[in-house]
């Protein structure tokens, strides 16, 4: 089952037994990578990364082409949370909902501190821009440059995203970013806006509802936006407004789109 698509067209996924496997942009039969991974898969030109369970805890592991493997999450990672890989940087959240980042496998990453009193939680990443949402105190969406650690922009919380008050149940919402777009799903509504103007929000109601117990996630490439519920996928072209539903996983990254067709998956370069 595909779980991650790299900007170079490499596809990572897991077999029914949980073995991680990959196939490059040339296609063919996926090859097993020799480790178990059910979440947190990501790929870059010179490394593969995955979430590894350690009892009740979880660590983000990273392996280079020569087989060197180390833990890169500074104080564990959320075993059910999304992990993003772009520009050779890995981003995730730990169990205390603090964002962390690591530049490849060279060394353990660092917790991202972006603002006072709270940094917020990572919700999307498009190198070098990390998007963090702080819904309780500052009530903002921040953009953090992972190379400098500086906050480059602050915006109000996206439409449909609620302020978090003490005692309120946590709102589940999902986001994705590319160099062109910032998109998010709150409730059953997909919204998106161009990043160059950060305005003119487009709205599309009635996106698929995730089944109980499944964790949706979004991806975005230079042209398309996808929303995967775990049972149904939704693909949107923000420029033309065309949309497509699929009963299978659909992934976008860079200039690539991966979708199921017949008895296999297809990978296309949309450049």
What gap in Å lies between CA 238 and CA 179, rounded to an integer? Answer: 13
Could you tell me the sign of the dihedral formed by the alpha carbons of 69, 75, 81, 83, in that order? negative
Res 114: pLDDT: 65
Res 16: pLDDT: 87
CA distances from 48 to 60, 79, 85, 159 (A): 11, 17, 10, 35
CB of 204 closer than 8 Å to CB of 185: no
The tokens describing 164, both together, are 């978090």
CA distances from 4 to 11, 23, 96 (A): 6, 11, 24
CB of 44 closer than 8 Å to CB of 254: no
**Tens digits of per-residue pLDDT, 32-80?**
999 998 799 999 999 999 999 988 789 999 999 999 999 999 999 999 8
Res 210: pLDDT: 83
What parts of the chain have a pLDDT lower than 50? none
**Tens digits of per-residue pLDDT, 244-260?**
999 999 999 999 999 99
Res 221: pLDDT: 94
Res 116: pLDDT: 62
Res 113: pLDDT: 80
């Amino acid at each position: 089952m595909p779980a991650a698509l790299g900007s170079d067209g490499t596809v990572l996924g897991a077999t029914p037994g949980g073995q991680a496997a990959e196939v490059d942009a040339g296609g063919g039969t996926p090859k097993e990578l020799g480790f178990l991974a059910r979440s947190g898969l990501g790929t870059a030109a010179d490394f593969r990364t995955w979430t590894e369970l350690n009892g009740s805890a979880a660590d983000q592991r990273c392996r280079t082409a020569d087989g060197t493997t180390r833990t890169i999450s500074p104080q564990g990672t959320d075993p059910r949370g999304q992990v993003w890989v772009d520009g050779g940087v890995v981003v995730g959240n730990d169990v205390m909902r603090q964002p962390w980042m690591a530049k490849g496998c060279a060394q353990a990453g660092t917790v991202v501190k972006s603002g006072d009193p709270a940094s917020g939680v990572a919700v999307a990443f498009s190198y070098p821009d990390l998007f963090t949402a702080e819904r309780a105190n500052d009530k903002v969406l921040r953009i953090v440059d992972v190379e400098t650690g500086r906050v480059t922009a602050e915006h109000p919380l996206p439409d449909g995203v609620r302020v978090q008050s003490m005692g309120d149940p946590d709102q589940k919402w999902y986001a994705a970013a590319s160099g062109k777009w910032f998109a998010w799903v709150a409730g059953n509504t997909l919204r998106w806006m161009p990043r160059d103007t950060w305005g003119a929000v487009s709205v599309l109601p009635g996106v698929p509802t995730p089944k109980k117990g499944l964790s949706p996630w979004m991806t975005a490439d230079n042209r398309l936006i996808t929303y995967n519920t775990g049972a149904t996928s939704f693909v949107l072209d923000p420029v033309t407004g065309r949309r497509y539903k699929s009963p299978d996983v659909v992934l976008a990254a860079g200039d690539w789109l991966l979708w199921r067709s017949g008895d296999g998956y297809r990978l296309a370069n949309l450049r």
